[in-house]
């Protein structure tokens, strides 16, 4: 076999091993191809520190204990991976009280800058630290959101405008102030932004670059580039012509836009926090189903009013459910005496995981091709802190669900990112891994030394 024949066969074989041919068949049948999506749910105050509860005991296949805080994810266990042993090494403050100011670093890779002088809270100034670069959601939105009415949604249920209540950043600070994305702070505001005044039929025409990002696996893209460097000019032209034909064929076989029914404005007055999140989740899923946006960042409030976190029932035997008569998550759980803190922390963890699971189930119920919306997305449950009481940001544990169209591996437990027990490593490795699975180049976002976690990529 000569080199030209091998090249044709290798290119076709490489692409046929991906969702490419299946996607073309779907186009021919008039189905809308599913884009990749990213949803980030971020909270504060840490998780239970016991191994086997929120954090896996070791690396390998993920096994969720029916009695653990992760138990609401049992039915989706093969679509969920847990990564722990991470640290916010890009945060320029100190562990402990300093992590109150670590929000700008949770979704960024680069080191930020102090925006005011003073104590751990900025000496009373409104800004303590600021992001040194773009956040994950905004970096991904710049690539995946090119063809949608809204590049991204940033939801932040907090009336507090101090810097330690933002996680989404368009880039480095401007004049010392946070370069943060506009935020929506109620379900009604989300509805107005997404559906208010829009017609019920929606859909976005994809650009050729977007088609290629979605259909060609990043590893094939890298392999093609590496091989192309050894080709002659004529063979390079043949390879480019082939990939261009792939894009054109996908575009010409395009199906009709999705049909999206009108969405009623949510009525959330008097709702419990769980029901309120359900309203958000329904809006988020419908926004993605209608392809209005493909990137969503949701920050849970770090305060129910003036404190930190939700009010949690004192009776920890209950299914976790915030209420006004309970104890507040931050002071009444995170800083309580050691005797009852562990049980209450697990109650708090379980409540958040229940909400996470409810969103995943809604996404998994939306069928797309031979999979679901969840299979084509990545959904992250992240935390600013590792430990509730000390506000440490060492040994963070995050949960990632979904498959990114077959590029991300579910059912995995990664206990130490560095590969050495007891030794933490950059959380930015996970952020770069998410970029790789979504087919988004991490250049300009990642720092030198940031790398993808190969165990999580197919």
Examine the domain organization and report whether 162 and 183 are in the same domain.
yes
Q: How many structural domains comprise the chain? A: 2
pLDDT of residue 360: 98
Q: Which CATH number goes with the domain that contains 404?
A: 3.40.720
Whether residue 365 lies inside any domain: the answer is: yes
∠ Cα 428 432 434 (to 5°)? 115
Examine the domain organization and report whether 197 and 113 are in the same domain.
yes
Examine the domain organization and report whether 129 and 243 are in the same domain.
no
Whether residue 263 lies inside any domain: the answer is: no
Whether residue 261 lies inside any domain: the answer is: no
- Number of residues in the chain: 458
Whether residue 155 lies inside any domain: the answer is: yes
Q: Identify the residue whose tokens are 């266990």.
A: 77
> Could you give the C-alpha distances from 323 to 72, 313, 318, 319, in angstroms and in order?
20, 6, 12, 12
* Domain ranges, residue 280: 37-204+272-456
Helix axes 233-252, 20-28, angle to 10 degrees: 40
Examine the domain organization and report whether 333 and 250 are in the same domain.
no
Contact 125, 103 (CB under 8 A): no
Is 165 strand, coil or helix?
A: helix
Closest to 422 in 3D by CA, of 141, 63, 58: 58
Examine the domain organization and report whether 5 and 46 are in the same domain.
no
User: φ and ψ at 386, to 5 degrees?
Assistant: -95, -40
Examine the domain organization and report whether 226 and 341 are in the same domain.
no
Whether residue 111 lies inside any domain: the answer is: yes
Examine the domain organization and report whether 325 and 227 are in the same domain.
no
Closest to 173 in 3D by CA, of 134, 124, 137, 121: 134
pLDDT of residue 98: 56
Q: Residue 82 pairs with which residues in a beta bridge?
A: 399, 413
Sign of the dihedral through C-alpha 329, 334, 340, 344? positive
Report, in angstroms and rounded to the nearest whole number, the Rg of the chain calculated over CA atoms: 22
pLDDT 10s per residue in the chain (458 long)?
444 444 444 444 444 333 443 444 444 444 446 899 999 999 887 887 777 788 877 789 999 989 888 999 999 999 999 999 999 888 866 544 556 678 888 999 998 877 654 444 444 444 567 788 999 999 999 999 988 999 999 998 765 666 557 889 998 877 666 788 888 988 999 999 999 866 554 444 445 555 555 555 566 666 666 777 777 878 777 777 776 666 555 544 443 345 577 788 888 787 777 888 899 999 999 999 999 999 999 998 655 443 334 555 555 444 444 444 555 566 566 665 555 556 677 778 888 899 999 999 999 999 998 899 999 999 999 998 887 667 778 889 999 999 999 999 999 999 888 777 777 899 999 999 999 999 999 999 999 999 999 999 99
DSSP label at residue 160: -
Contact 59, 416 (CB under 8 A): yes
Query: CA 96, CA 143: separation in Å to the nearest integer?
Result: 36
Whether residue 264 lies inside any domain: the answer is: no
Contact 288, 294 (CB under 8 A): yes
Sign of the dihedral through C-alpha 392, 395, 399, 404? positive
Examine the domain organization and report whether 118 and 212 are in the same domain.
no
Last residue of a domain, one of 230, 256, 282: 256
pLDDT of residue 310: 53
Query: CA 15, CA 20: separation in Å to the nearest integer?
Result: 6
Examine the domain organization and report whether 330 and 406 are in the same domain.
yes
pLDDT of residue 248: 58
Examine the domain organization and report whether 216 and 331 are in the same domain.
no
Examine the domain organization and report whether 181 and 301 are in the same domain.
yes
DSSP label at residue 100: G
Examine the domain organization and report whether 41 and 16 are in the same domain.
no
Sign of the dihedral through C-alpha 191, 196, 202, 207? negative
pLDDT of residue 198: 64
Is 125 strand, coil or helix?
A: coil
Contact 456, 86 (CB under 8 A): no
Query: CA 399, CA 239: separation in Å to the nearest integer?
Result: 39
């Amino acid at each position: 076999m000569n080199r030209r024949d091998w090249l044709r066969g290798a290119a076709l074989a490489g692409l046929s091993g991906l969702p490419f041919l299946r996607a073309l068949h779907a186009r021919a049948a008039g189905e809308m191809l599913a884009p990749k999506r990213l949803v980030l749910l971020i909270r504060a105050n840490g998780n239970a520190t016991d191994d086997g509860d929120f954090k896996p005991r070791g690396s390998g296949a993920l096994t969720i204990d029916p009695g653990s805080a992760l138990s609401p994810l049992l039915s989706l266990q093969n679509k969920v991976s847990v990564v722990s042993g991470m640290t916010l090494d890009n945060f320029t403050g100190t562990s402990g009280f300093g992590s109150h100011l670590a929000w700008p670093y949770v979704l960024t890779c680069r080191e930020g800058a102090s925006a005011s002088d003073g104590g751990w809270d900025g000496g009373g100034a409104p800004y303590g630290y600021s992001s040194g670069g773009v956040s994950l959601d905004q970096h991904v939105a710049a690539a995946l959101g090119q063809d949608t009415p809204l590049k991204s949604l940033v939801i932040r249920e907090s009336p507090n405008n101090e810097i330690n209540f933002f996680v989404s950043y368009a880039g480095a600070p401007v004049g010392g102030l946070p370069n943060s994305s506009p935020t929506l702070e109620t379900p009604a505001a989300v509805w107005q932004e997404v559906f208010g005044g829009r017609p019920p039929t929606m859909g976005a025409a994809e650009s050729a670059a977007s088609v290629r990002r979605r259909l060609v696996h990043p590893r094939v893209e890298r392999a093609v580039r590496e091989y192309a460097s050894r080709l002659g000019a004529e063979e390079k032209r043949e390879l480019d012509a082939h990939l261009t034909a792939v894009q054109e064929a996908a575009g010409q076989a395009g199906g009709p836009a999705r049909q999206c029914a009108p969405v009623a404005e949510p009525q959330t007055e008097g709702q419990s926090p769980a029901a309120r999140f359900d309203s958000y989740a329904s809006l988020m899923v419908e926004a993605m189903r209608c392809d209005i946006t493909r990137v969503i960042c949701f920050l849970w409030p770090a305060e129910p009013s003036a404190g930190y976190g939700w009010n949690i029932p004192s009776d920890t035997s209950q299914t976790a459910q915030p209420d006004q008569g309970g104890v507040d998550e931050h002071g009444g759980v995170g800083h309580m005496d050691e005797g009852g803190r562990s049980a209450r922390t697990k109650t708090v963890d379980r409540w958040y995981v229940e909400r996470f699971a409810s969103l995943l189930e809604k996404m998994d119920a939306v069928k797309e091709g031979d999979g679901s919306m969840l299979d084509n997305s990545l959904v992250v449950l992240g935390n600013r802190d590792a430990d509730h009481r000390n506000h440490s940001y060492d040994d963070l544990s995050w949960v990632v669900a979904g498959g990114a169209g077959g590029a991300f591996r579910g059912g995995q437990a990664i206990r130490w990112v560095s590969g050495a027990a007891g030794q933490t490593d950059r959380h930015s490795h996970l952020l770069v891994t998410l970029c790789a699975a979504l087919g988004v180049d991490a250049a300009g976002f990642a720092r030198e030394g940031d790398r993808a976690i190969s165990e999580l990529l197919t």
